[in-house]
Amino acid sequence: MTMNIKTLLVGAAALALTACGEATPSWNAEAGAFIDEGGFGNPTMHNMMAQKCAGQAKGYIVPDPVVALHPSSTAANPVYARGSIRCSGQLNGKYAQVIWQEYIRSAVPPSTLDGGGLQAIESAAGGGA
């Protein structure tokens, strides 16, 4: 009987020590730190390098043409503009300005809530006080 208890204690101690391995994050690590394997900013860096035309000569013309919907086109008659990009290698913020203007242009005023709340729920359910 004592042999079984000793074997059980040795087995429990070995099992407890395996939980102390490096495979599990320590208690003081950031939550979710094991998810990021070091490539968190890579897409942003890739976009910046592409905008700067990194690895290309200045004045390089990007072989893929840019096709965009012309602002004067309608849903019934779409008009596409086609062009090419010449890389100057400078980030001057024009892309950010275009995105910001589009963001502002697409904004809608906040909705106003008339009534609403518990009153609207009760009246929709047919129940009233």
Domain assignment present for residue 37? The answer is no
For 77-112, how does the pLDDT look when each residue is reduced to its tens digit (9 = 90+)? 888 888 777 777 676 777 778 778 888 888 888 777
Domain assignment present for residue 94? The answer is yes
Residue 43 pLDDT > 80? no
Domain assignment present for residue 50? The answer is no
Domain assignment present for residue 73? The answer is yes
For range 27-47, the mean pLDDT: 69
Query: In terms of residue numbers, what domain contains 81?
Result: 55-107
Tally of residues, the chain:
129
- Per the structure, how many domains does the chain have? 1
Give the span between the Cα atoms of 61 and 83, in whole angstroms. 11
Report how far apart the first and last C-alpha atoms of the chain are (Å, whole number): 74
Domain assignment present for residue 48? The answer is no
Domain assignment present for residue 78? The answer is yes
Enter the pTM of the model.
0.28
From the list 63, 52, 55, the residue with the least C-alpha distance to 87 is 52
Residues 6+ apart with CB under 8 A from 61: 84, 85, 86, 87
